Every structure is written in structure tokens, then in C-alpha cells.
Structure 1
Amino acid sequence: MAGVLESVNQRTQLVGQNRLELLLFKLGNSQVYGINVFKVKEVLQCPPLSHLPKSNKVVCGVAHIRGGTIPIMDLSLATGNPPLQDIKNRFVIITEYNMKTQGFLVNNVERIINMNWEMIQPPPKGTGSEHYLTAVTKHDGKLIEIIDVEKILSEVAPVEEEFNQELITEEVSQKAKLSEVLIADDSKIARKQITKTLEQIGVKVTAMNDGKEAYDHLIDLLAQGIDPKEKYAMIISDIEMPEMDGYTLTTEIRLNEKLKDIYIVLHTSLSGVFNKAMVQKVGANDFLAKFQPENLAQVVIAKINPQSSDESKTS
């Protein structure tokens, strides 16, 4: 276990090639789950926990790890399953999402596997809207379920979804009515959050569930004689998505002569200097860490009304 993540920093070459690595784990039964290694900071046996009064029932307590205090959530309970027992003999996956660190209590951690995003599929249709899956895949004949962590975090610790309405001047409001933005994100919660922010500005939104769906949509528009860069003020894309990730989507768009000038913002819970370097490598215009409605609103407003951005810089 101690060495399972020691080479994570050497795995960055996978990103940008539509590949990922999943850390596999179980929550108490035979079902195998996966989480992107790039979200994982550390794996350790569950440390002593301190009770947090009035905390969400999913939060087992807080742990003091490497000089910081981190909330530990029972991932089994958070996904509607029975709570894990014998906590001290279970494991914690320390993760970073949306610039926050938290731990997820799991039954046991297995291994890391290398996969292509094309092998990662959306949840089967007919599973309803209450599940906690963002994708599924198969490995060695076993079904692997990838949990929608953003949905869990939004339920345990809801993020602020409002922003300073003074950003929306009369001029911005008028230009927003004429603007449309294409978003691509495999998380239903993330799509709702982004859409709410954009609709508050007054921008029309077209939402796609992953990068491949977004790219196929752009190609379909071209086939209809519609210029996507005239239709959309910008594309806001997640990075981690089934079938085609955000880096690959950006690369494919830049390689297409008729699409290459579209303004692209990569919007992701993956954080760190590395991702900013990847943004430049694949040719995206901007990078935003999830979910910060104020920053998102500022980026969109600056694109649809550049004058407002210039004025804010000189004021």
C-alpha cells in the first residue's frame, strides 16, 4: 500500500493522450469502483478521527494529517449504501477536488490500472437521475463504476452558486442575449452549476455530456453549413470525461481548420500548476478551477463584452 502512489508524479505524460489511470477500490461488497489517480494525494489506513459536532452524517470525523485537518467521509454511506464498519481497519483515500482536500473512507484499495478514455462509458440509460455514477468501464471482465464525487460533495458541503450581480451591466445584459455557450461535462451537478451561472448572466446554454458528444455536435453543425465559432461565444469543457477528455477535445478542435479559432476554457476540479501547463500545451485559451461562480462569470462576461474587462482593469 505504501508504494501504490509513489510514482503518480511520473504519470503526467498520460494526460493529453486521452488516457487516464484509475485507482480501484471497494466499499464493502464485490463491486469495484475507480477514481482518477490525478485526484488522489495519498492512500493510508484510517487514522484516528475526531468527531465534528453537527456535521453531515456522511462525515465520519476529521483527521489530523501532515499538519492539516481533513474531513473524512464514508463513501459507502454517501452513495446510499450501508456505512462501513470497523473503521480503524479501513482505508482513506485523500483527494483534492475543487481546491479542497478531503478523505474518502473505503473498505479496501486494490491497484492502479491504465486505461484509454474511449473505454470509459457514460452510465447506462435507464439508471435514473438519483445514482452516483459519472461513468462505467470494464477491466479483466469486471464492471468498474466511477463515482460522481462532485455530486457527493455538493450534497455534503454545498458550494455557493451566486455571484456579484453588479457584474451584469446593462451592456453586458444586452450582449448576453445574443450569446450562446457550449458546455461539456459528464457530471450532472457540474452541468447544472455552470448552466445556472451562465443563465444568470443571460447567456443561452447548450450542454453536452462529454467531449466526444461535444465534438460530434460541432462537426454536425459544420455539415449543416453552420459556423460553430459564430454560433458559440466559447466552449467551457471539463477535463475528465468518458470517451474523449477535455485535453483531447481541445486538441481535435485546434487540428480542425474550420474549428481551430473557437475560444475554449477548460473548467475542472483537477487543480495544480501541471494542469495550467497542459492548457498551454493543447492550446486552450483559459483554465478555471471548479466551482467558482464569480470567476466563471467574469471569464464569460469578459468574452462576450471585452470592454467590461478593460474597464475593470483600469478602475
Structure 2
Amino acid sequence: MSKLLNSVNQRTQLAGENRLELLLFRLEDKQLYGINVFKVKKIITCPALNEMPHRHPIALGVANTMDGPLPIIDLKLAIGHGNAKNVRGKSVIVAEYNRKLQGFLVDKVEHIINIQWSDIHTPPRSVGNEHYLTAISKYGDEIIEIIDVEKIIAKIMPFNEEVQSPITDALDSTYDQKNKEGSAPNKNVLVVDDSVVTRNQIKRCIEAVGFSCKLLKNGLEAYQHLEELTVSGKHPNDEYLMMISDIEMPEMDGYTLTRRVKENANMKDLYILLHTSLSGVFNKAMVEKVGADDFIAKFDANELANAVLERLNH
């Protein structure tokens, strides 16, 4: 099974080209699901599990692995399709989200496909508001459902979204000083992320430090919005203190969005912070490749607030 996964360095060549590789799998049903290969560390057969005290129903238990304790999540139950019928012999996709490793129990891992982000689309409105999809695509005659894993993880491991008061005080002090100097920037932040959970997390964090947000769902929406501003005679750098963008997004990824903004003479001064749950190792290299101003890994409210403070200081 490990032959499915190439090295991270090889896979990163797709980044910035608006392409990705999806690992396809199934969950004891006919539906085809996908996860970005960048997130996947390894695929293993489900090991013996230890009970977790006060565990959430979707958490099957903890496995002892070479990487340390690994929580195993019943992905089928997590998306509301009922419990997995059995565990023994099933595959576990070990993936890194928000700086931590999790194992996702699946019935069958199939193969990897190379696909354009432009072929990945937001879910149709007909799925309602309670779904766990972040995007959909097609493989042959089949629909691929891409699950909002961050929404699932937030159910069992809520993130600390509280911003420490010293950071808030520092932001207020910095802004007041710049206001006295007549150089205070716009207090609006452009937020681009396909996960509704993450958009709301960022919104609460930004509003906690006295700023406002405009929320958009993908890179294409964001670029079109910035184009509309420039056509109307406005400069994005005057409208927004900064843009906080995810990397993995349907229609247009964050790398491609960043590169296109930095190549546009009317937009290039807009400060761009890439904010993602992807591995930090290759992201640091990609920040330089596409011209982003900074990168931080999801999700730490204080780090995000500090990033706003850093931007105010420049």
C-alpha cells in the first residue's frame, strides 16, 4: 500500500499549478471519497485499539504506533452513515490535520488520481447545511465526495479560539498609535477558505481583536472579487489590511490565487498570509515560490492574532 504514496518533495511539484493528487477510498458503500495526498502520511492496516475514556462516539480508540498514540476515527459514522461493521482488516489513512496526526478508518483504499483544482467544485445547495462535504468532483462516471475533515475533527477535538488579552492590548495600542500618526490601515481582512468551520474560526478570532472580515469560499471567488475592486477604481491594499487564504480550495487553490494576485500590477501590494492545515515543511518553500508574504499552520488563535499585529507593525 505504501507504493501508492510518493515522496512529499515529488508531490509538491503540483503545488502552484492548480493541480493536486487525490487518494480515493470507500466506506462500506458504493460512494467514492477522496482526500488530498498532501495530507496523507501513510496507510496502515487497523492496529489493536485501546479504549479512550469519555471518548466521542466517532472515536474508535487509540492505537500505539511508532509515531506515538494515534486516535482512530470511524469516518463512516462521522459523516452520518452508521457505524463501520467491523475494524479488523480495514485500512487506516494516517493524515496530518492542524498539526496533529489522526487515523481515519476506511473500508478500502483504491488509488491516486491527478486532477485540476478547477475540476473540483463546491457541493450543490441541494445537500443542505448539515453535510460534511467540502467539495465534489468526478472520476469516470462516479462522483467523488471530498469530506470536510476539519469539521469532523472540530467535533471531537475543539480548537482553542480564545485570544490572549496581551495580544489584544498590543493590537489596540498599535492601531491607536498609527491612528494618531494618520497612518492607520483599513481594519478589514479578506478571508478565503472552503471550510465553513475554519471561516467561522478565523472570523471569531479577527473580530475578537477589533477587526472585520469579508468571507469567501475559494480562490476563484477571491480573485474575481479583487478584480471587481480594481475595475471600480479601488486598490485592494487600501480596502484590506491583508488576505488570509487557505491553500486547498475548489476552483482555484491558494497557491494559484497568490501567484495571480502577485503577478497583477493592481493587486500585488496586497499582503497575503497562507493559512492551512497542510504540512509546514513544503509550505515554507512554496511561500517563496508563489510570492506569499507569510505562512502559518492552522489553527492557533493567538498565532493568527499575532500575524495581524505583525502586519499592523509594518
Give the TM-score, by structure 1 length: 0.94
- Partner deviation per Cα, 1:122-152 (whole Å, 9 max, x = no partner): 0112322210000000111110000000100
- Partner deviation per Cα, 1:156-190 (whole Å, 9 max, x = no partner): 11010001122223434656894111010000000
Partner residue, 1:95: 95
The structure 1 residue matched to 2:303, chosen from 291, 295, 311, is 295
Where do 1:47-196 residues align within 5 Å? 47-169=47-169, 170-172=172-174, 174=176, 178-196=186-204
Q: Distance in 2 between matches of 1:196 and 1:177?
A: 20
Q: Distance in 1 between matches of 2:268 and 2:8?
A: 32
- Partner deviation per Cα, 1:72-131 (whole Å, 9 max, x = no partner): 000011111111112012110000011100100011100000000000000112322210
SS of equivalent residue, structure 1 residue 11 = helix
Aligned residue identity for 1:303 = R
SS of equivalent residue, structure 1 residue 62 = strand
The structure 2 residue matched to 1:281, chosen from 266, 285, 289, is 289
2:218 is the counterpart of 1:210: yes
Q: Distance in 2 between matches of 1:112 and 1:11?
A: 12
Q: Distance in 2 between matches of 1:62 and 1:28?
A: 22
Q: Distance in 1 between matches of 2:276 and 2:122?
A: 18
Where do 1:266-277 residues align within 5 Å? 266-277=274-285
Partner residue, 1:312: none
Q: Distance in 1 between matches of 2:239 and 2:12?
A: 34
Check conservation: 1:8, 1:37, Cα contact below 8 A. Answer: no
TM-superposed deviation, 1:266: 0.1
Q: Distance in 2 between matches of 1:227 and 1:164?
A: 32
Check conservation: 2:186, 2:241, Cα contact below 8 A. Answer: no
TM-superposed deviation, 1:304: 2.4
Check conservation: 1:123, 1:134, Cα contact below 8 A. Answer: yes
Partner residue, 1:310: none
Check conservation: 1:72, 1:103, Cα contact below 8 A. Answer: yes
Check conservation: 2:273, 2:296, Cα contact below 8 A. Answer: yes
Aligned residue identity for 2:300 = Q
SS of equivalent residue, structure 1 residue 88 = coil
Aligned residue identity for 2:150 = E
TM-superposed deviation, 1:284: 0.4
Give the TM-score, by structure 2 length: 0.94
Q: Distance in 1 between matches of 2:6 and 2:252?
A: 27
Partner residue, 1:221: 229
Partner residue, 1:313: none
- Partner deviation per Cα, 1:284-309 (whole Å, 9 max, x = no partner): 00001000100000011221244xxx
SS of equivalent residue, structure 2 residue 54 = coil
Check conservation: 1:41, 1:96, Cα contact below 8 A. Answer: yes
TM-superposed deviation, 1:271: 1.9
Q: Distance in 2 between matches of 1:177 and 1:277?
A: 29
SS of equivalent residue, structure 2 residue 125 = coil
Q: Distance in 2 between matches of 1:98 and 1:53?
A: 23
SS of equivalent residue, structure 1 residue 161 = coil
Aligned residue identity for 1:36 = N
Q: Distance in 1 between matches of 2:42 and 2:139?
A: 23
Check conservation: 2:190, 2:242, Cα contact below 8 A. Answer: yes
2:265 is the counterpart of 1:263: no
Q: Distance in 1 between matches of 2:253 and 2:67?
A: 34
Judge which range, 172-181 or 121-130, deviates more.
Answer: 172-181
Q: Distance in 2 between matches of 1:171 and 1:66?
A: 47
Partner residue, 1:247: 255
Check conservation: 1:179, 1:304, Cα contact below 8 A. Answer: no
Alignment identity in percent?
50
Instruction: Give the direction of change, closer, same or farther, for the CA distance of 1:179–1:8 in structure 2 (3 Å limit).
Output: closer
Judge which range, 162-171 or 38-47, deviates more.
Answer: 162-171
TM-superposed deviation, 1:224: 1.2
SS of equivalent residue, structure 1 residue 262 = coil
SS of equivalent residue, structure 1 residue 3 = helix
For structure 2, the residue ranges without an aligned partner over 5 or more in a row are none
Q: What is the total number of aligned residue pairs between the two structures?
A: 306
Instruction: Give me the CA root mean square deviation.
Output: 1.4
Instruction: Give the direction of change, closer, same or farther, for the CA distance of 1:172–1:127 in structure 2 (3 Å limit).
Output: farther
2:17 is the counterpart of 1:13: no
The structure 2 residue matched to 1:232, chosen from 227, 240, 243, is 240
SS of equivalent residue, structure 2 residue 114 = strand
For structure 1, the residue ranges without an aligned partner over 5 or more in a row are 307-315
Where do 1:29-40 residues align within 5 Å? 29-40=29-40
